[in-house]
Structure 1
Amino acid sequence: MDAGHEAQPAVAHRRRCAVRRPGVGVSTAASPSAARRWGRRAALAAAAVSGLWALLVALLWWRQEALLFHPRPLPAEHRFEVPADAHEVWVDVPGARLHALHLRLPQPRGVVFFLHGNAGNLDTWFVNTGFYRAQNLDLFMLDYRGFGKSSGRIESEAQLMADVRAAWAQIAPMYAGRQRVFYGRSLGTGLAAQLAAELQPELTVLVSPYFSMAALATEKYPWVPGSALRYPLRTDLALPRVQGRVWMAHGGRDTLIPPDHAQRLQTVQPRAELLLVPEAGHGDIHQHQRYLDALAAALSR
């Protein structure tokens, strides 16, 4: 009996230990549960980030025009401070009426069809008329939809190109047999290159060009998929198809469109001449005498 009574506490002790040990097991069993909770939280966080990314891409898709184009409208009664031989011209296109200024000389040897950048209007772009007069070249400059006195709004690259074609078609008969210069500046370089590939002018001038708008967007916004860009403006595909002379200029201090874009374009069109103006930025290259002298030489050939 004594031995039996002595054995009972030992059994009880082992039972108590057996009861306590599962506590350790509970902690071990909790780890998979915690891992699942963390997994769910991580999945929710990833879904939130993915949703935010998708929302930003969707906004970029629908609001792309607001990011790319910065027009400054003008009232219909606005008077331009231009020489007497510069005339206001209207180009009717589907859904809009486009406004342009046309410098017309008595006996020009040709015309510079100028496609300007993505901001402002003709009030600030139609400058240096004396320079073109000295070259005995007319100057035609168009305001895109929503810019200056032009009505409507830009809705697609196809529409933008159709407007440019319509403007050129309206004045082209005046310059049959004369020098045709398609000039693009910044945004306008992609448009000028595409028009030149279609119509083969004697000279194509691209100032501060981009390799393509798609390439520039990838540099500025690497998180945006290429499929979200509705204005790829593939200068790199158009320029190799241009058969006439190509002259390009770029500012060495251009941070908006780095000069390597022009250098890369020269690799796809080796015949193109390229002038780098080290001290010029993006918006002031036309103020540098080196640029003006080189452009005058290109226009005179």
Structure 2
Amino acid sequence: MKVFKIILTLFLLGIVTQSKAQFEEKFYFPKKEWREVKIPYSEEFIPVEKDIIHTVFFQPKSTPKATVLFFHGAGGNISTYMYMIEPLVANNYQVYAVDFRGYGKSSGKSTHINIVEDIEIVFSKMKENKLIKDSKLLVYGASLGCQIATHFTNKHQDEVDALILDGGFASFADVAKLYAPKNVHVYINKALGNMYPSKTEIKEIKNIPKLIIHGKVDRSIPIKQSEIVFTNAQKPKAFFVSEVGHLNALKIETKKVLKEIDKLLTIRH
């Protein structure tokens, strides 16, 4: 995966004295180009400080089963994740997707800190939508978005009905260490160790149903990363082992994944 190869390159060059903020930036690779989206949607531009956050709301043709709050990964933007969003909408989920700062039509530059702050503002705005207000809420994280999804769910346990983590990792520090030499692991822990690690925060999420998805042939993030998170998660929980690669389960094993997502709505908590 491009982001982690760059991290490795930086460390091999001996660039280990940069600030934590600079180091964080190595995780974000936004794309501004907006691809054609073939299904209907509405969009909103939410002001945060001097920037704007672009959100897109997709509605199914029939009455929605629930609302999915979707957080994308380190690269691309909402339009490049339509291969994941479209199957959800086709299965009668309405999807509220967020582009972090600098992604797609959002302005500014993402950091670990401003993303979680921005999501709080976006969520407050989202709840004003009458079509969302009374529906069940499923939080869906894709890859890097899993860290955001877990942190958000931990903070909003009274408002979230289920958590889905697809192709995620145990923590920012853990995944960076996978691709960096051991002599800089201490530095990585100092820089990233306390940045809302999923493997720790998942322990605090009680009663909420959790679905963790990961491909056993994922060449970007080893399945072991999600296994750590799953082990630490409280019940109810399920692990869907995909036969395909990184973030491809919804695209290729669509019916199986949607069946697992539908099950989340039947679990009382």
Classify the TM-score, shorter chain: 0.7 to 0.9
Q: Given the alignment of the two structures, is residue 110 of structure 1 paired with residue 69 of structure 2, yes or no?
A: no
2:87 alignment partner AA: F
SS in 2 for 1:255: coil
Is contact 2:84-2:251 (8 Å) kept? no
Report the equivalent of 2:116: 161
Q: Given the alignment of the two structures, is residue 250 of structure 1 paired with residue 214 of structure 2, yes or no?
A: yes
Unaligned runs of 5+ residues in structure 1 are: 1-51
Once residues 264 and 103 of structure 1 are traced to their aligned partners in structure 2, the CA distance between those partners, rounded to angstroms, is 32
SS in 1 for 2:83: coil
Is contact 1:71-1:147 (8 Å) kept? yes
Tell me which of the two structures has the higher relative contact order, counting C-alpha pairs closer than 8 angstroms and 6 or more residues apart: 2
2:222 alignment partner AA: P
Report the equivalent of 1:178: 135
Bigger Rg, which one: 1
Q: Given the alignment of the two structures, is residue 136 of structure 1 paired with residue 121 of structure 2, yes or no?
A: no
Change (3 A) 1:142 1:274: same
2:202 alignment partner AA: L
* Deviation per residue, 1:78-126 (Å, 9 max, x gap): 6742323x11211111121011211134743421000000001122113
Is contact 1:206-1:247 (8 Å) kept? yes
Q: Given the alignment of the two structures, is residue 287 of structure 1 paired with residue 247 of structure 2, yes or no?
A: no
Change (3 A) 1:246 1:58: same
Is contact 2:211-2:261 (8 Å) kept? no
- Compare 170-179 and 124-133 and name the one that shifted more: 124-133
Is contact 1:247-1:298 (8 Å) kept? no
Q: Given the alignment of the two structures, is residue 276 of structure 1 paired with residue 241 of structure 2, yes or no?
A: yes
Paired residue for 2:80, among 112, 119, 124? 124
* Deviation per residue, 1:209-248 (Å, 9 max, x gap): 2111112222222332211338834111211222211111
SS in 1 for 2:16: helix
Report the equivalent of 2:7: none
Is contact 2:138-2:163 (8 Å) kept? yes
Change (3 A) 1:100 1:206: same
In the superposition, the TM-score normalised over structure 2's length comes to 0.81
Is contact 2:102-2:109 (8 Å) kept? yes
Report the equivalent of 2:43: 88
Tell me the CA shift for residue 60 of structure 1. Answer: 7.0
Tell me the CA shift for residue 130 of structure 1. Answer: 4.6
Report the equivalent of 2:223: 259
In the superposition, the TM-score normalised over structure 1's length comes to 0.73
Once residues 214 and 54 of structure 1 are traced to their aligned partners in structure 2, the CA distance between those partners, rounded to angstroms, is 19
Report the equivalent of 2:106: 150
Is contact 1:64-1:230 (8 Å) kept? no
Once residues 19 and 179 of structure 2 are traced to their aligned partners in structure 1, the CA distance between those partners, rounded to angstroms, is 13
Which structure dedicates a bigger proportion of its chain to helix?
A: 1
SS in 1 for 2:73: coil
* Deviation per residue, 1:20-66 (Å, 9 max, x gap): xxxxxxxxxxxxxxxxxxxxxxxxxxxxxxxx989511247454244
Report the equivalent of 1:227: 190
Is contact 2:52-2:106 (8 Å) kept? yes
Q: Given the alignment of the two structures, is residue 209 of structure 1 paired with residue 172 of structure 2, yes or no?
A: no
SS in 2 for 1:145: coil
Paired residue for 1:238, among 172, 193, 201? 201
The alignment of Structure 1 onto Structure 2 pairs a total of residues equal to 244
Is contact 1:80-1:123 (8 Å) kept? yes
Change (3 A) 1:259 1:128: closer
Unaligned runs of 5+ residues in structure 2 are: 1-10
Identity of aligned residues (%): 20
* Deviation per residue, 1:153-178 (Å, 9 max, x gap): 12x32211011121111112433332
Change (3 A) 1:159 1:128: closer
1:171 alignment partner AA: M
Once residues 152 and 283 of structure 1 are traced to their aligned partners in structure 2, the CA distance between those partners, rounded to angstroms, is 26
Change (3 A) 1:207 1:129: closer
